[in-house]
Amino acid sequence: MSVDRPSGTSLEPGLRFRALPQLRVTILGRAVPTWAVLAVAYLLSRVLTTGLLFVFWASSQHWTIAHYDGGSGFGGFLQSWDGLYYRRVALDGYPTTIPTDASGTVEKNAWAFLPVYPMIVRAVMAVTGFDFPVAGVLIAMAFGAAATFAIHRLLLERFGATIGIWGALFFCFGPMSYVLQVTYAESTYLYFMFAALAAMMARRYASMIPFGILAAFSHPGALALAAALALQRFVGFLKRQPTSHRDRVLAVVTVSVIALAGIAWPFVSGIVTGDSGTYFNTEFAWWRDYIGSVHFLPFTPWFVFAGHYLGFLGIVIVVALLAGFVIWFTRRSTRALGTDLRAYTLSYIGYLVAVFLPQQSLFRMLLPLSPLLGAPVLSRTVRARVITLSSCIALQPVGILLFWVIWPP
């Protein structure tokens, strides 16, 4: 498979997106529009993943290791784990009184889950009459397709046509791509994140705002967008890149608006319930399953988690992991990602280290880093493409078994 473009058309990395001509992919000697290749590839990826999910659901009916909790039937299987909380939000909204146990400790509840995805599902349910599993899966898959096209566009602009399409294929066939078709907010969130990142790379800061706000109310993590834009502008200042006064003002406004949106949910939950600690106490209800009751300090959860299970060795492992990231981040091959993707990567990793407890959900939480699939080493040669895509497909059943059938993702 080779990717063609009309002569005279530049696809080199640039500061602003251009209106791109119709790109085509040559398959068996025939030119096929790139959008059609992506659409068919995404459809095939969903057929593959649906088959794998169905096989695991059918096979695990009597497995003692199977713990998914969404109810009977295949639809129940697809709405397991966090999907049940999104179902509650879609059907009943958020509680105005926080549930607590006999000792007054806040229990797990819907305030840990943001509203964009379940509200879209609720609207679809009202219009179509579908029940939650059907509507939820359809919305997840639709936004998964949108996210695939969005990641293709940003990789296309940064790396060119070939890496752009292969990076999108790695994304939709990836080991954790099954979350693009269960009743989780991931695909919705990823689309908004990738669209906002694409706008940032294009220096269209005003266009970042609506996507950044929607991302912030879809899933935690949108603060990384604000930090990435701040880093982009800071690097530009250090390099004395020419920037108009309008762009400087828009960048400041965009960073401020997205940052405010990113921290708004704790205030919203506090206003509705009358308890300013609603959101964080709800999040800590999940933490207690792993490390008991602890006092939260930013940039400590990874150390607390590792130390809880492995003692001093755990602390050493976390330090080694962070050192490994620094080494990777400063390599010449990593610098080829460009300032924008490196700023976004650093910001998102910083967000995870600052606030996230690194249990098994970490693999799902790494999905916003999917633009790294555009790293040239993954698709520079035919051999590299085959190995990467084959590995993605081979690891899908592993991801489903470990992080859907046995443990919550």
Please tell me whether residue 174 adopts helix, strand or coil conformation. coil
pLDDT per residue of the chain (409 residues) written in tens, 0 to 9: 655 554 333 333 344 444 444 577 666 667 778 889 999 999 999 999 999 999 999 999 889 889 888 888 999 999 999 999 999 999 999 999 999 998 889 999 999 999 999 999 999 999 999 999 999 999 999 999 999 999 999 999 899 989 999 999 999 999 999 999 999 999 999 999 999 999 999 999 999 999 999 999 999 999 999 999 999 999 999 999 988 999 999 999 999 999 999 999 999 999 999 999 999 999 999 999 999 988 899 999 999 999 999 999 999 999 999 999 999 999 998 998 999 999 999 999 999 999 999 999 999 999 999 999 999 999 999 999 999 999 999 999 999 999 999 999 9
pTM: predicted TM-score of the whole model, two decimal places? 0.93
Nearest 10 degrees: Cα torsion 328, 330, 334, 338: 150
Amino acid occupying residue 95: P
Q: Which domain holds residue 83?
A: 2-406
> Structurally, how many domains does the chain consist of?
1
- Provide DSSP, 267-327: HHHHHHHS-TTHHHHHHHHHHHHHH-S----TT-HHHHHHHHHHTHHHHHHHHHHHHHHHH
Please provide the distance, in angstroms rounded to a whole number, between the alpha carbons at the two ends of the chain: 34
